[in-house]
Amino acid sequence: MATTMAGGPADMAPQGSAHAADRAAEASPLPHAGDDAPWPSTGTAYYALAVIIFATFLNFFDSAAFGLLIEQIRAEFHLSNTAIGLLQGPVNVVFYMVVMLPLSRMSDIYPRKYVLAIGALLIALLNAAGGFTATFMALAFTRMLVGAGGGAHAPGSYSLLADFFPPEKRRWPFALLQLGFIGGGTLGLVLAGQMLALAMGWPESDFLDVHLHGWKYVLMMLALPGVVACGLLLLVKEPPRRGVIAAGKPLPIRDVMAEIWRRRAVYGPLFLGLGFSAAHAMALPAWMVPFYKRTYGWSEMEIATRAPMFMLAGQLAGLLVGPMLLKLLSRRYRDANVRAVTICFTAVVPLAIFGPMMPNGWLALTCSMLSGMLGIASAVPQNLTIQEITPNQMRGQVTGLYLMMFTAVGAVGPFMIGIMTDHVFGNDGDVWKALALSGLLLNPAAAYIMSRAIRPYADALALLDKEKS
């Protein structure tokens, strides 16, 4: 993640949008609850959690399905490795970077369920539009807008769940939320493989000047569940906000940036360390199909049936390992969240470097499985860290900045693999070398940088404890 804490990210947002949001905040104070107010009922809270998990599943299902289609897209449009790296990386975040902060601020101003529902519907419509594209540029444009739609999801989701579950009960709901990511990237890949097999058997057709076939049918099919998610999100009961300040109004952006700058010693390493880790982590699924197809000779259907078994096992294990590691560390350390992330990042290093070098695909999948376990295990403490030290009215915006920087730096990963494959190694079959080099350059740095947040995080928690007493 980039370490620019003041000025830069805020300046990316359209000023008109920010000023409009400020006026809306002044006109409509947020419903909020005192510290002694009852929490939402268990049924209400877990319905919201289930729907958010489903919407999260669809976000990552979309990415998994598109990754499965990438070699067919490459062949149809005669793309280079650099171009497909660009399509799965920077193209997907260009518009995301523009709208992320305003969308995050919407989560701090308006009912979060509406922000989430609109985002889900937008992604559905854009997936359908992608199926009707006839050129690479048109497809790239739809993927750029899909990334923007995804920008509405995470900030509102975490902020919403933090007001459904009290602090002492948030660990497992935040862990369960990872089921959406896990299911989307694993079971979603299986579903995408079945959808592709089905679509390949459908007759080709023409609509206006667009030739419809195979992978385009798959993109169209991805639209329907997004519409369903939109409807389910609208049925969520919006909870009152807790831990609010300034009479229940969202903080102005300048105050949010000032708060981030005040705690830059903890936010800086969190953002930057996660960014380095994300660059390699985002490259792996983006290049999974080219890697296994070119290195081990597996077809898309073989990848779609073999890889998800390993990915699912590792990531489900991560759901258990994360809270267990936190519980163990919490017995001795108040700063257990960041310590847990540092441990997970360090353990990933040898897997990231040597996994692509494995002599067969099954061993490579085993390394990927263990990396996935550690990635999921680290996700829970990462999200808890942000929610724990950030005041309510800026949670959506800070989470949005966190994810925006994560996504921006992470998007470099797939692009970097394409560039190295084309221009450093010069051979399509050398994508494994590019992945190994990426692991060597990025993951050790991520672990070290994250470790630099341990002491500042402990100091921030001590200050919060002092303010509450």
Residue 389 lies in a domain: yes
Number of domains in the chain: 1
Per-residue pLDDT tens digits for 156-168: 888 888 889 887 7
pLDDT of 56 above 60: yes
Which CATH number does the domain housing residue 179 bear?
1.20.1250.20
Residue 1 lies in a domain: no
Residue 16 lies in a domain: no
Range of the domain at 82: 38-239+249-468
* Residue 189 near residue 312, CB atoms below 8 Å: no
Per-residue pLDDT tens digits for 322-331: 889 999 998 9
Cα separations (Å) of 433 from 27, 47, 419, 424?
56, 45, 12, 10
**Both tokens assigned to 337:** 């969240």
Parallel, antiparallel or unpaired: strands 210-212 and 205-207: antiparallel
Helices (H) and strands (E) in the chain, counts: 22, 2
Residue 276 lies in a domain: yes
Per-residue pLDDT tens digits for 304-346: 999 999 999 998 899 889 889 999 998 999 889 999 999 999 9
How many Cβ atoms are within 10 Å of 469's Cβ, its own excluded? 5
Residue 431 lies in a domain: yes
Residue 50 lies in a domain: yes
Q: How many residues does the chain have?
A: 469
pLDDT of 9 above 60: no
Per-residue pLDDT tens digits for 123-138: 999 999 999 999 999 9
In this predicted structure, which of 47-61, 94-108, 240-254, 327-341 has the lowest mean pLDDT?
240-254
For residues 62 and 148, what is the distance between their CA atoms, to the nearest angstrom?
13
Residue 432 lies in a domain: yes
Residue 4 lies in a domain: no
